[in-house]
Amino acid sequence: MANTTNDAQVMLRMHDIHKSFGELAVLKGIDIEVRRGEVLAIIGPSGSGKSTLLRCINKLETIDSGSIEIEGEFLADTNEHGVAEYADLKKSRELLSHTGMVFQQFNLFPHMTVIENLIEAPMQVKSMKKAEILPYARELLAKVGLSDRADYYPSQLSGGQQQRVAIARALCMQPDIMLFDEPTSALDPELTGEVLKTMRELAAERMTMVVVTHEMAFAREAASQVIFMADGNIVEQGDPETFFNRPQEERTKAFLKNML
């Protein structure tokens, strides 16, 4: 039932997120909202908290206070003592199964072939039968242009190919929201293009995506909103056209000047 109400559905909402590592405050009150089919690009200097923010979405890190809603349900919310409280394990797992993540360093299982990498989580986590998931896994491999590499091991692939396998693997769990943490920054420049192409195609299919990236051209073309983070705060945010052509804040201007 794809109607306008559904299209406007908030897939992810984070409100007033605070997170410290010991004495170091890394996230200082972050608010984001991502609707169905939107691509949120997060940019900013090293150490600004981008990865931490992304990792908080799927509970690889926990927040100190604030709230995280996934498709309208609370993964975490601040209690009366001002401390974040998480949904119970069963509920958290259910909500997190809506998300898929792709890391800078691919993180494929080295002892498994490409196709085995794809079907492992659906079989283990969703208890799907091999015969049940295999056709879908093959479809995804075709989609990322690697049908002919199904039986290769990760070490036999280029970095760009490995990253496309990692994307197909995340998609094999049928997530509603894809999270990418600098998916191309470990790649040689000539290999980033093929990964960005796959991501552009996903965006064109209206996959909801949160992408931490240094690829300004990708953010400009594929994102629906861009956020610039520095020192644990959102300094500036907007639609790509406004953000890149008419940035308001000095820090944003300086950062963008450096990136070009």
Ligand X SMILES: Nc1ncnc2c1ncn2[C@@H]1O[C@H](COP(=O)(O)OP(=O)(O)OP(=O)(O)O)[C@@H](O)[C@H]1O
| Residues at the site binding ligand X, with contacts judged by CB under 6 A | 21, 24, 26, 44, 46-52
Q: How far is the CB of 211 from ligand X (least distance, A)?
A: 13
252 binds, among ligand X, Mg ion, none (CB under 5 to 8 A by kind): none
Q: How far is the CB of 141 from ligand X (least distance, A)?
A: 29
**Residues linked to residue 127 through DSSP beta bridges, in sequence order:** none
Nearest by Cα to 49 from 73, 74, 72, 19 = 19
Q: How far is the CB of 100 from Mg ion (least distance, A)?
A: 18
Q: Which is nearer to Mg ion, 51 or 213 (CB)?
A: 51
Q: Which is nearer to Mg ion, 20 or 248 (CB)?
A: 20
Q: Which is nearer to ligand X, 44 or 240 (CB)?
A: 44
Spell out the residues 6+ positions from residue 147 whose beta carbon is closer than 8 angstroms to its own.
138, 141
Q: Which is nearer to ligand X, 48 or 163 (CB)?
A: 48
Q: How far is the CB of 72 from Mg ion (least distance, A)?
A: 28
The order of strands in the sheet holding 84-86 is 24-35, 10-21, 65-70, 73-78, 84-86
The tokens describing 141, both together, are: 């491999």
Residue pair 230/26 in contact (Cβ under 8 Å)? The answer is: no
**Angstrom distances, CA of residue 16 to CA of 57, 58, 228:** 13, 17, 16
48 binds, among Mg ion, ligand X, none (CB under 5 to 8 A by kind): ligand X
Q: Which residue is nearest to Mg ion (CB)?
A: 51
Q: β-strand 65-70 against 10-21: which pairing, if any?
A: antiparallel
The tokens describing 13, both together, are: 């909402």
65 binds, among ligand X, Mg ion, none (CB under 5 to 8 A by kind): none
List the helix and strand counts (H, then E) for the chain: 10, 11
Q: Which residues bind Mg ion (CB under 5 A)?
A: 51
Q: How far is the CB of 186 from ligand X (least distance, A)?
A: 11
Q: Which is nearer to ligand X, 42 or 140 (CB)?
A: 42
